Structures are given as C-alpha cells and as structure tokens.
Amino acid sequence: MMRTHYCGQLNETLADQEITLCGWVHRRRDHGGVIFLDIRDREGLAQVVFDPDREDTFALADRVRSEFVVKVRGKVRPRPAGAVNPNMASGAIEVLGYELEVLNQAETPPFPLDEYSDVGEETRLRYRFIDLRRPEMAAKLKLRSRITSSIRRYLDDNGFLDVETPILTRATPEGARDYLVPSRTHPGNFFALPQSPQLFKQLLMVAGFDRYYQIAKCFRDEDLRADRQPEFTQIDIETSFLDEQDIMGLTEGMIRGLFKEVLDVDLGDFPHMTFEEAQRRYGSDKPDLRNPLELVDVADQLTEVDFKVFSGPAKDPKGRVAALRVPSGAAMPRKQIDEYTKFVGIYGAKGLAYIKVNERAKGVEGLQSPIVKFIPEDNLNVILDRVGAVDGDIVFFGADQARIVSEALGALRIRLGHDLNLLTCEWAPLWVVDFPMFEENDDGSLSALHHPFTAPKCSPEELQANPGAALSRAYDMVLNGTELGGGSIRIHRREMQQVVFDILGISAEEQQEKFGFLLDALKYGAPPHGGLAFGLDRLVMLVTGAQSIREVIAFPKTQSAACVMTQAPGVVDAKALRELSIRLREQPKVE
C-alpha cells in the first residue's frame, strides 16, 4: 500500500515515526525560508514542512500547486509550542518531509475549495468531483454511509432479510407519474421504474419471508420542488405476524439506536399522537414538537357573534375557528402582522385576525384589535383564558373551512417558531397514528390517504357503510416536523382489498388487470403483515444538518431533472429508437 496513514490519523503518539501520506495539496505556503504543504485526504489534513537542506525535494515542493496529487514520506514531529492548531485533528504535529512525489498534476480548479460560498450551485454540480472534495461535503456522504451501515446492522441483527426487488417493473399505483422504459422485446410495451417496492414486499410476506428490508432506489417523474429528486432512496421494511405496536417499537429502536450511535443523542421514547389531535393542536399531520405554540379551538364561543367571518365557520360542521397565542408577541409591529397575513394567504386564508393583549386587567380597553368590538366580553374572556393569554401576548385567529384554518395556522405556527426562536429542544420525535382511511376529493369521490393496501381498523361491512369515518392502521414517524417514515398494517384478506378498491372506484375489471397478482396472492394464504418505509435522503439530511437533499446525494439532479456533469438526459440515435419501436413526437431542440 502506498500510504502508511491517513492525514487525519496523525497525532503526537506517532512522534519520531517515519510515515507516508498520499493525498491532495490543499494549501501551499512559503514562510521563513521553508515550504509548508497542507496535504488533504479523506480523513483530514496534515501539515508537511520542506526545508532547503534536501535540495531536490525542496525544489519540487516549490513547484507543486493546489490540488496536485502527491505522495510524501517524512517524519512526524511535535509542532513548536506557538504553532499548534487546535482546529485540526493533526494540529499538534507536523511532518518533516523527506521525499515528495507528484502522482498527478492539476490545473487550477474552476473554484477554490475553501471559498466556495459564492460559487453557483450549477457550477458546483458540473464539477461535482471537485465539490465533493470539500471536507464538509465529504463528511455528509461519509455520515450517510455510516447511517446505512448502522441501519443494516440493526435490521440484520433483528432477523430481517435483505431482498432485492425489480427496478424494471410494472406501473404501481402510488399516484405520482412513473418513469417509463420502452421494451425492445415487447414492442409498444413499457416497464415502469418503481415508486416503491410496495407490492413486491407484500408478496415476499405472502411467500413467508417474515421480515424483509431493502435500501431501495425509488423513482418519481414529478416536477421537482425544492427538496425532491427524481430518484430517491427508501429504507423499506415489511414484517409478518406483527401488529402496529410491534412494528413501531422495532423501527423506533432502529432510529433511536442510530441517533445514539452517530450523534450520541438519546431520543427517548417517542410519544404517540392521533392524526385528529395533531391537526387540532398543531394544524399538521407532522407536527414539529420542538415548537411550543398550539392551536386552540374557539368556535363554540363565536357561533352567535355578529361577525360572519367568525360565526359562519363556527356554525359550519366543516368549518373551524382556532386561536394561536404567541407569548410576548404584542410588541409585533403592524408591518410584521401584515406580512404574516400575506403568508397565511398562501394557504388560502382570507385574513389574519389578531388581539394584542396589552393589559388584561383593563378588560376590553386593554386589548388592541380590529375584532374585539364584535365579540361579547364574556366570550372574549373565555377565549383568552382558554389560550392562556397574559399581558404582552398576541393571539392570532383563523376562521374558514377546517382544512384551510389548520394549514394556514399550522404554517404560521412553524414560521413564528423560527422567526421568534421559540424552539425548546433540538430533537422532537413522535408517532402520528389513527389516520383516516380516505380523504375526500373536490368531486366528492374518495382517495386513499396512505395507499389502497392499508388496512382499516374496522370490518369490511363497517368500512362499506361509512368509509369517510373509517380510521386506518397507518402510522407515521415524525421528527422535527419532517415525516421520516410512514407505514401501516396491510390488508391481508382478498375480500377487504376488494371493498377498498370498490370504494376507490376501481372497477372489477381494472382490479383484475392492475392488481390481479395481488388478489391472487391474498387468496393463497397471505399472513397478517405490515411495514414501513423511511426516506433515507431526508433522514441523512436531518442527521447531518444539511440544507438541501442535494447535499446528501453524491450525484444529484438539478431542478429540471438533469445532470449537468454528465449531460444526462441526452440525445439518442435513430437506430436505438427504432429498436424500441418508438419515435419522437418532435425533434429535440438543438442546444
């Protein structure tokens, strides 16, 4: 092996030892007649000193430039007292260089590695092989590798089998658009890249594999929002003969173990919260519990007020009126309130009523608000007591359809938490449970809230009688307001699966055509089973504190789903298209 040590491994215990390093010239300085090279490798930096005694080596050290690839032989020695660098793993020592070999030269890189902040992301992605040299980028991908390794070990130790499922498969009904792959051997037919291995993992349970996992690539051809990628990675888990408590316990243990191992953080036991409570108190199905603000329902106090904006939703069974108290928020300037009003507008709220609580002892006089005049003082007092308002607070109000109020105040709650630095802890995990089976579409039809294979908490007859009220056996793991993973107990009986398909308006013919193999599988002895999938990219992002999902993927795509480094996607020759029995609808644009 060329090297004896990684740069970052050098320390005082190696003093006087001869070592060999291989790496990149991170920095080069002349100082006091000697040359200093900071050599960089995966594990860190080491300072090598070349003095003029060794003439040839010194001359070569004088000629090397940033990012040259070098091999250095030398002797470790303690740095002089004043020169110790506590910010560097090897900062207590330096290497006196005996021999220097240039393994490869380098042109000046397109951007410097230490002042990258001004470099546009497109340039960094184009030269990703240079961008990944930056220690903070490399650290994220190293941590990603440690995370997957920790997760695999946990699952291996708990009897899970790692089974690969196909990438060339059939369109699955996750709802997003599939990436399609034309088949050469079956002209006019297409494979789809999987949006998840959902049905395959259920079939593995039917096959008796009992505990399955896979760190699986999944694909969605959707317009990319800030934090989406066309291909993403899922920690995919399925088990048989376990109920939701067992599965939550097992996977909670996995995440708790991971945080302990890589961050030395103890997440403790995760609280469980129903979907209904999460919506009611936090206006979200993935509440960030680091944030102490809560929504409080006040409709009962406002049904009779002479102010339709409140009384309308208060009386409507599908309406909601909720308050959000912000401690010490009364000093908030008008301009700020206007900005929040605009912000909740994004979520459909038509306004943002508020009460500034200046001095409660003074009654209505002590309140500053455009709306108090509409509300009888008794009701006002009940409301203020209920939200726990004290002098100096501001209380915001939302009144509209329940969905709009929850979304708008839920988003405002998050925004206020960040704007006002209200977060009370670093990590706040929880389980959200008892989701509804279905959500209503605008046309009154029903969609599955999770996916159509999720088991309900009731019998097929009860489900059929009142699908809108049915709860599912689904569970989501939420951390700091991000959904880390979600899963459910699945339907394992054919009749129940058909009832759900019927409710979703899938015709018997379509059921057979799209899901015939699943219905078959449920017919031949399917065990009770359920599982979960974690978004690995998101998990790594949280653990590493990355700002974007692109920072934790080695070679990510841009917002337009392209790779600027390899120039993918690219043009394909006519022969290839002919072999696939397809033609272009329009000529590709010449770039």
Residues 108-127 that bind its own copies (CB under 8 A): 109-110, 127
Of the two residues 246 and 365, which places its CB atom closer to its own copies in the complex? 246
Indicate whether 308 belongs to the interface with its own copies (CB under 8 A).
no
502 known ligand binder: no
Q: Tell which one of 106, 176, 382, 420 touches its own copies (CB under 8 A).
A: 106
At 424, the amino acid letter reads: T
- 98/127 with CB nearer its own copies: 127
Contact between 277 and its own copies by CB under 8 A: the answer reads no
Total residues in contact with its own copies, by rule CB under 8 A: 127
Segment 570-589, which members bind its own copies (CB under 8 A)? 570-572, 576, 578-589
- Interhelix angle 508-523/494-503, rounded to 10 degrees, is 160
Is 229 annotated to bind a ligand? Reply is yes
Contact 282, 410 (CB under 8 A): yes
Among 73-81, 272-280, 362-370, 560-568, the segment contacting its own copies (CB under 8 A) = 560-568
Interaction residues for its own copies, span 238-267 (CB under 8 A): 240-243, 246
- 528 touching its own copies, by CB under 8 A: yes
Q: In the complex with its own copies, which residue's Cβ is closer, 172 or 291? A: 172
Q: What is the distance between the alpha carbons of residues 44 and 304, in angstroms, rounded to a whole number? A: 69
CA distances from 46 to 37, 76, 81, 84 (A): 8, 10, 17, 12
Instruction: Tell which phi-psi region holds residue 269, choosing left (phi > 0), alpha (psi between -120 and 50) or beta.
Output: beta
Q: In what order do the strands lie in the sheet with 211-219?
A: 161-162, 211-219, 231-240, 529-535, 482-489, 474-479, 429-433, 272-274
Residue 69 to residue 104: CA distance in whole angstroms: 5
Q: Is 221 in the site for its own copies (CB under 8 A)?
A: yes
Nearer to its own copies, 209 or 427 (CB): 209
Q: Which of 47, 61, 68, 411 binds its own copies (CB under 8 A)?
A: 68
Figure out which of the listed residues 129, 227, 350, 462 binds its own copies, where binding follows CB under 8 A.
Answer: 129
- Edge-to-edge strands, sheet with 319-326: 295-297, 319-326, 394-401, 353-357, 367-368
Q: Report CA 340 to chain centroid distance, whole Å.
A: 26
For residues 140-159, which are near its own copies according to CB under 8 A? Answer: 141-142, 144-145, 148-149, 152, 156
Closest C-alpha to 519, from 497, 489, 490: 497
Q: Is 220 annotated as ligand-binding?
A: yes
505, 445 in Cβ contact below 8 A?
A: yes
Q: Residue type at 356?
A: K
Question: Any alpha helices (H) in 213-272, and if so which ranges?
Answer: 244-263
Name which position in 58, 98, 116, 190 contacts its own copies (CB under 8 A): 190
For residue 209, state whether it binds its own copies (rule: CB under 8 A): yes
User: Does a cis peptide bond (omega within 30 degrees of 0) precede residue 569?
Assistant: yes
Decide whether 195 or 291 has the Cβ nearer to its own copies.
Answer: 195
Binding to its own copies (CB under 8 A): which residues in 71-100? 71
Beta carbons of 231 and 530 less than 8 angstroms apart: no
* Binding range to its own copies, per CB under 8 A, among 87-95, 313-321, 332-340, 562-570: 562-570
Find the part of the chain contacting its own copies (CB under 8 A) among 305-313, 337-345, 396-404, 517-525: 517-525
| CB of 145 closer than 8 Å to CB of 543 | no
For every residue of 119-177, DSSP letters joined together read S-HHHHHHTHHHHTTSHHHHHHHHHHHHHHHHHHHHHHHTT-EE----SSB----SSSP
Q: Which is nearer to its own copies, 81 or 571 (CB)?
A: 571
Stretch that binds its own copies, among 251-259, 281-289, 376-384, 514-522 (CB under 8 A): 514-522
Which residues, at least 6 apart from 212, have a Cβ–Cβ distance to it below 8 Å?
Answer: 160, 161, 163, 201, 204, 205, 236, 237, 238, 239, 531
For residue 463, the minimal CB distance to its own copies (Å) is: 18
> How many residues in total does the chain contain?
591
Q: 437 to 456, contacts with its own copies by CB under 8 A?
A: none
C-beta of 17 vs 558, nearer to its own copies: 558
For the bound state, the minimum distance from the C-beta of residue 77 to its own copies, rounded and expressed in Å, comes to: 24
Residue 67 within binding range of its own copies, rule CB under 8 A: yes
Q: Which of 112, 173, 182, 376 binds its own copies (CB under 8 A)?
A: 182
| Cα distance between residue 17 and residue 37, in whole Å | 19
| Footprint on residues 395-414 left by its own copies (CB under 8 A) | none
| 538 annotated to bind ligand | yes
222 is in an annotated binding site: yes
Subset of residues 448 to 507 that bind its own copies, contact rule: CB under 8 A = 492-493
**Partner residues linked to 321 by β-bridges:** 399
Alpha-carbon gap, residue 37 to 62, rounded angstroms: 10
Nearest to 428 by CA among 238, 235, 284, 237: 284
Q: Cβ 264 to its own copies, closest distance in Å?
A: 20
139 binds its own copies per the rule CB under 8 A: no
Can residue 362 be called a binding residue for its own copies (CB under 8 A)?
Answer: no
Among 535, 560, 532, residue whose Cα is nearest residue 252: 532
Q: Which is nearer to its own copies, 191 or 453 (CB)?
A: 191
For residue 390, the number of C-alpha atoms closer than 13 Å in the C-beta half-sphere is 2
* Interface with its own copies, residue 175, by CB under 8 A: no
Q: Is 252 annotated as a binding residue?
A: no
* Choices 186-194, 289-297, 346-354, 357-365 (CB under 8 A): range interacting with its own copies: 186-194
Least distance CB 239 / its own copies (angstroms): 10
Question: What would the 3-class secondary structure string for 388-430 be?
Answer: CCCCCCEEEEEEEEHHHHHHHHHHHHHHHHHHCCCCCCCCCEE
3-class DSSP state of 213: strand
Note whether 420 binds its own copies by CB under 8 A.
no
Work out how close the CB of 200 gets to its own copies at its nearest, in angstroms, rounded to a whole number.
Answer: 6
Using the rule CB under 8 A, is 63 a contact of its own copies?
no
Q: Residues annotated in the binding site for L-aspartate, as ranges?
A: 174, 220, 450, 490
Please report, in range form, the residues annotated as the binding site for ATP.
220-222, 229, 483, 535-538
